[in-house]
Amino acid sequence: MTEAATASEPAPIPGHIPESVVYDFDMFRDPAYLADPHKRVIDLLENAPPVFWTPRNGGHWMLVSHAANFEAARDCEDFSSEVLPYKEMEALLDQLADETGRVPRAYPINLDPPLHGIYRKPLQGVFSPRTINTMQEQIRAMACDLLDAVAGKGGCEFMSAVAEPLPVKVFLRMLGMPEDKYPEYRALVRAHLDAQALPGAEGALQRLQKVAQAMRDTIEERRDERRDDIISMLWGVEIDGRATTQEDLENYGVLLFIAGLDTVMQGIGLGVRHLAENPALQQRLRDDPSLISKATEELLRRYSFTVPPRRVARDMEFQGVQMKAGERAMLFLPGADLDPREFENPTEVNLEREGAHIAFNAGPHRCLGSHLARVELNILYEELLTRLPQFRLDPDKPPSFNCGHVVGVEQLHLVWGD
Ligand code: HEM
């Protein structure tokens, strides 16, 4: 458990919120959640209201049911992604920039329409299946290298050995960054991971500035000399009819860093932990690798792990509760994808299951990197099941977890062989 495990002080409950929809849950520090996140998610689905107010971390809504998440995710007018309204955020960042230098903006994830669409559109081609598919063999080679380095050892701490390095290597290669940036980026990812388990934005802006700084030279180089990478592609697109600038490129780079590294890593960690606990599933996938892509989907659903924040934009009734403008609401996607009202026997990993999960969210902000994430996960599972014999959790070192806006595995000790 991290230092974040000390309970936060409960805030007073606003007068318009009845006791019947209040439930005490600290998404950053709840001990049962930290001990085994998705077990606690099931407990919340069974025992908490489908939409509840928690007094922790300043007080906010938690949308737990599938119905609540699906509705809110598609309703950008009432559930704003601008946790601070756009103009206020810009003014604040400009003011901070006077003291510390320019602060990059993670557009479009924290924008509402119409600006959201303007900044999202240029990324769509960059992350299209056609572009990503050209990366497959390189991703496979990186996964094989990492797995081969541990295969002969009989065991490893899988997060630091494989799950964390793979997306960092893919990110550097895709963006066309020099390989010698790898240690610097691992350290930046580590700092980002350590910080996101804590509420509030302390130090977040400086971390984003460091991420932008680390890619500044490559961005400048590609402006004058294009190559076959994402930074070059982004120099070639237009934003609302104008050419992209150095600042746009830094913004996009920071966005991809915060959206696409720890997410893939946690997807891998949670999926591999399930496989380690389920030798029969490992065997089934080894016997019939054509089932792996289905397993990837089911594992994403069974262990959905992101909790995107929203700001309630107006006073309204939502799913039977009164919300007020300015309140914060969390899209608790782990709850949505384990909701028995939506998925029969939701805890079962069922490769024959029909119906779509919302691990990548729904609506206008739906994940732009979902195809890349699926490719990385599929390849990793394929090579893991080929290169390692049956693996299991190390009985002496149980896994540890972290939670916050991204829920995941901190340490995953695996063993294999005799
Ligand atoms: C298993 C891995 C991943 C999961 C579960 C995931 C999940 C999500 C979710 C839930 C959102 C919506 C956030 C919101 O509504 O506020 C999102 C948005 C986004 N994701 Fe992913 N993601 C993953 C991997 C990636 C990767 C690999 C990339 C690219 C490198 C990526 C890029 C993005 C971008 C750019 C957005 C913003 C889209 C927008 O606001 O329009 N993601 N992701």
Radius of gyration of the chain from Cα atoms?
A: 21
Residue closest via CA to ligand 1's atom 20 equals 367
The alpha carbon of 2 and the centre of ligand 1 are apart by a number of angstroms equal to 25
Domains in the chain: boundaries: 3-416
Give 277-283's long-range contacts (Cβ < 8 A, gap of 24+): 277/392, 277/393, 278/349, 279/390, 279/392, 281/349, 282/385, 282/390, 282/391, 283/390
Nearest CA to ligand 1 atom 6: 360
Q: Is the CB of 104 under 6 A from ligand 1?
A: no
Among 285, 274, 266, 308, which Cα is nearest to 79's? Answer: 308
C-alpha angle 53/57/59, rounded to 5°?
A: 30
Decide if pLDDT at 4 tops 90: no
The three-state secondary structure class of 265 is: helix
CATH architecture, domain defined by 3-416: Orthogonal Bundle (1.10)
The residue contributing the CA closest to ligand 1 atom 7 is: 360
Q: Sorting pLDDT into bands at 50, 70 and 90, what band is 1? A: very low
Q: Is the CB of 299 under 6 A from ligand 1?
A: no
Q: Is 251 near ligand 1, meaning CB less than 6 Å away? A: no
Mean pLDDT of the chain: 94
- For the Cβ of 253 lying below 6 angstroms from any atom of ligand 1, the answer is no
Q: What is the pLDDT of residues 37-96, one digit of tens each?
A: 999 999 999 999 999 999 999 999 999 999 999 999 999 999 999 998 999 988 988 888
DSSP at 202: T
The two three-digit tokens of residue 13, written as one number: 């409950």
Angle at which helix 370-387 crosses helix 279-287, to 10 degrees, equals: 90
CA 261 to centroid of ligand 1, rounded, Å: 10
The ligand 1 atom nearest the CA atom of 255: 35
* d(C-alpha 258, C-alpha 368), whole Å: 13
CA distance 312 to 317: 11
Token pair 């998925």 in the structure block, residue: 343
369 alpha carbon to ligand 1 midpoint, in Å? 6
Q: Residue 369: its pLDDT value, please?
A: 96
Which residue has its alpha carbon closest to ligand 1 atom 39?
365
- 295 CA from centroid of ligand 1 (Å): 20
Distance CA 92, CA 86 (A): 10
Atom of ligand 1 nearest to the CA of 304: 5
Q: Is the CB of 365 under 6 A from ligand 1?
A: yes
Ligand 1: nearest atom to the Cα of 372: 27
Question: What is the predicted pLDDT for the residue at 8?
Answer: 76
- Candidate from 263, 297, 377 with most ligand 1 atoms within 8 A of CB, to mutate: 263
Tokens read off for 28: 């950053």
Q: What is the pLDDT of residues 98-147, one digit of tens each?
A: 878 888 999 999 999 999 999 999 999 889 999 899 999 999 999 999 99
Which one-letter DSSP state was computed for residue 360? T
Q: Using one digit for the tens of pLDDT, what is the confidence trace for 344-384?
A: 999 999 999 998 999 999 999 999 999 999 999 999 999 99
Distance CA(206)–CA(97), nearest Å, equals 11
Supply the pLDDT for residue 225. Answer: 95
In the predicted structure, residue 5 carries a pLDDT above the cut 60: no
What single letter denotes the amino acid at residue 177? M
pLDDT (mean) for 8-33: 95
Which atom of ligand 1 lies closest to the CA of 109? Answer: 40
pLDDT in tens, 174-212: 999 998 889 998 888 888 888 776 666 667 788 889 999
